């Protein structure tokens, strides 16, 4: 491939050779990708003839011949006579755009929404979100009503009040941000050089505005850059040690909710963990919440009947449950007089820390 590259570069220096309009600035006439070879030139007979002559020299020297059944000639903005002459000269088959490459349509015009259907079918983020949310929140695979906990909260880590699911939309945004970071850090690769020449044109990337006639993907990258500007200054982002995971952590900052870490103790029952998790989020289906969308005859506590069943009532305010709690604490020889679930978890956490410190000191 190094030998082929040298031949094609020599061909590109010929006075009669003309580059493809989008490759003129980079002086690029070919790309090698995996086991594919792409040749580019202006749509005239002489330029294409020079490329084919250089390729024939490579074949004669190396013994590597083109597989005629896998080679094709594509022309954009060329007259049919020129294309027919090139087909006769090369022996390759004549094909028309668009064509499929790595699952994506390649065409000379803008890619339409319909052209992306095959990719959209594979990337069903919204449908996947809804399915997982329903399975985890309600135990069913279809429902019109919302779940008990929002998906954004569910995607937080367990220590921050979620269930640790990955937010696919956030990860996709951070993956696209890698392109923004590559341009900002002036990474030495062909794509960065190309967008700098075609779009940025020695301008200020951090304040760049996508041209009206820019292709769709470039506009999306610029939109990602503009969103990042609300979080980073240019200098901060340029010096940021970029990984997708580190950016996700940076953008997914949640106020400290350390008490949630106490829920997921391996010695507790899964059912109990979920109940306490929902209680801390104020998402238990207490009667006062059910009353909002379903009329009830009474929303009084079904244990004591003396007060409205709300989140602050069942665990400590109810005379029945509070009596049971007192007896359990006495039976376990534990002295606790709080009346709040969060404070209780905080108290348990301190007890566990002190117990661990005692074991460390005794060891």
Quote the Cα angle for 119-121-125, to 5°. 100
Q: What pLDDT is stored for residue 99 in this prediction?
A: 77
Q: What pLDDT is stored for residue 363 in this prediction?
A: 45
Residues 6, 101 share a domain: yes
Last residue of a domain, one of 251, 267, 298: 251
Supply the range of the domain harboring residue 103: 2-112
Q: Look at residue 344 and tell me if it is in a domain.
A: yes
Q: Look at residue 271 and tell me if it is in a domain.
A: no
Q: What pLDDT is stored for residue 118 in this prediction?
A: 60
pLDDT tens digits, the chain, 363 residues: what are they? 888 889 988 998 888 999 988 888 888 888 887 777 888 888 888 998 898 889 889 988 888 887 777 788 887 778 888 888 888 888 888 887 777 777 677 776 766 666 666 665 555 555 666 666 665 555 555 555 566 777 777 777 777 777 777 777 888 899 999 999 999 888 888 889 888 888 888 889 999 998 888 888 888 899 999 999 988 888 888 888 888 888 888 887 654 455 676 777 777 788 888 888 888 888 888 888 888 878 888 888 888 888 888 888 888 888 888 888 888 888 888 887 777 777 777 777 776 655 544 544 444
CB 318, CB 304: distance < 8 Å: yes
Q: Look at residue 160 and tell me if it is in a domain.
A: no
Q: What pLDDT is stored for residue 357 in this prediction?
A: 47
Say how far apart CA 182 and CA 155 lie, in whole Å.
28
Residues 247, 294 share a domain: no
What is the value of pTM for the model shown? 0.61
Say how far apart CA 363 and CA 121 lie, in whole Å.
59
In a 13 Å sphere around the CA of 255, the CA atoms on its Cβ side amount to 0
Q: What pLDDT is stored for residue 206 in this prediction?
A: 92
Residues 321, 238 share a domain: no
Q: Look at residue 90 and tell me if it is in a domain.
A: yes
Q: How would you label 23-60 residue by residue, b for 16+ Cβ within 10 Å and e otherwise?
A: beeeebbbeeeeeeeebbbbbeeebbbbbbebbebbee
Residues 304, 220 share a domain: no
Q: Look at residue 119 and tell me if it is in a domain.
A: no
Q: Look at residue 54 and tell me if it is in a domain.
A: yes
Say how far apart CA 227 and CA 215 lie, in whole Å.
19
Say how far apart CA 247 and CA 186 lie, in whole Å.
19
Q: Look at residue 180 and tell me if it is in a domain.
A: yes
Please state the separation of Cα 262 from the chain's center in Å: 30
Q: What pLDDT is stored for residue 208 in this prediction?
A: 92
Last residue of a domain, one of 251, 275, 293: 251
Cα separations (Å) of 305 from 67, 284, 296, 302?
Answer: 84, 18, 15, 6
Last residue of a domain, one of 74, 90, 112: 112
Helices marked H in 155-311: 168-184, 190-195, 216-228, 234-238, 244-251, 270-280, 287-290
Number of domains within the chain = 3
What DSSP line would sit under 73-92, residue for residue?
Answer: E--SS--HHHHHHHHHHH-P
Residues 292, 226 share a domain: no
Residues 188, 107 share a domain: no
Residues 94, 15 share a domain: yes
Q: What pLDDT is stored for residue 198 in this prediction?
A: 84
Rg of the chain's alpha carbons, rounded to an integer? 32
pLDDT digits (tens, 9 = 90+) for 59-78: 888 888 877 777 888 877 78
Q: What pLDDT is stored for residue 306 in this prediction?
A: 85
H/E stretch holding 130: helix 125-137
Q: What pLDDT is stored for residue 360 in this prediction?
A: 42
Residues 347, 246 share a domain: no
Q: What pLDDT is stored for residue 1 in this prediction?
A: 83
Q: Look at residue 265 and tell me if it is in a domain.
A: no
CB 72, CB 93: distance < 8 Å: yes
């Amino acid at each position: 491939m190094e030998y082929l590259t040298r031949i094609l570069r020599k061909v590109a220096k010929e006075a009669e050779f003309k580059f493809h309009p989008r490759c003129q600035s980079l002086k690029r006439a070919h790309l090698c990708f995996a086991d594919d070879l792409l040749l580019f030139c202006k749509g005239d007979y002489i330029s294409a003839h020079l490329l084919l002559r250089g390729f024939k020299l490579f074949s004669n020297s190396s013994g590597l011949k083109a597989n005629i059944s896998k080679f094709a000639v594509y022309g954009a903005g060329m007259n049919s006579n020129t294309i027919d002459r090139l087909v006769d000269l090369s022996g390759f088959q004549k094909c028309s755009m668009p064509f499929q490459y790595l699952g994506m349509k390649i065409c000379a015009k803008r890619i339409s929404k319909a052209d992306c259907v095959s990719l959209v079918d594979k990337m069903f983020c919204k449908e996947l979100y809804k399915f997982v949310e329903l399975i985890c929140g309600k135990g069913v695979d279809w429902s019109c009503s919302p779940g008990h906990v929002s998906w954004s909260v569910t995607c937080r880590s367990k220590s921050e009040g979620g269930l640790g699911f990955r937010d696919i939309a956030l990860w996709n945004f951070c993956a696209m941000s890698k392109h923004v970071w590559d341009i900002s850090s002036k990474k030495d690769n062909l794509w960065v050089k190309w967008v700098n020449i075609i779009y940025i044109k020695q301008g200020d990337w951090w304040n760049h505005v996508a041209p009206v006639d820019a292709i769709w993907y470039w506009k999306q990258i610029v939109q990602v850059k503009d969103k990042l500007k609300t979080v980073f200054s240019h200098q901060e982002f340029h010096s940021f040690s970029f990984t997708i995971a580190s950016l996700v952590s940076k953008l997914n900052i949640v106020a400290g909710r350390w008490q949630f870490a106490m829920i997921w103790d391996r010695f507790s029952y899964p059912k109990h963990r979920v109940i306490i998790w929902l209680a801390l989020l104020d998402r238990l289906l207490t009667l006062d919440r059910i009353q909002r969308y379903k009329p009830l005859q009474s929303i009084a506590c079904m244990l004591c009947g003396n007060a409205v069943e709300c989140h602050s009532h069942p665990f400590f305010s109810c005379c029945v449950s509070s009596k049971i709690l007192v007896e359990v604490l006495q039976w376990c020889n534990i002295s606790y007089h709080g009346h709040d679930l969060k404070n209780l978890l905080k108290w348990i956490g301190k007890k566990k820390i002190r117990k661990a410190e005692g074991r460390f000191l005794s060891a």
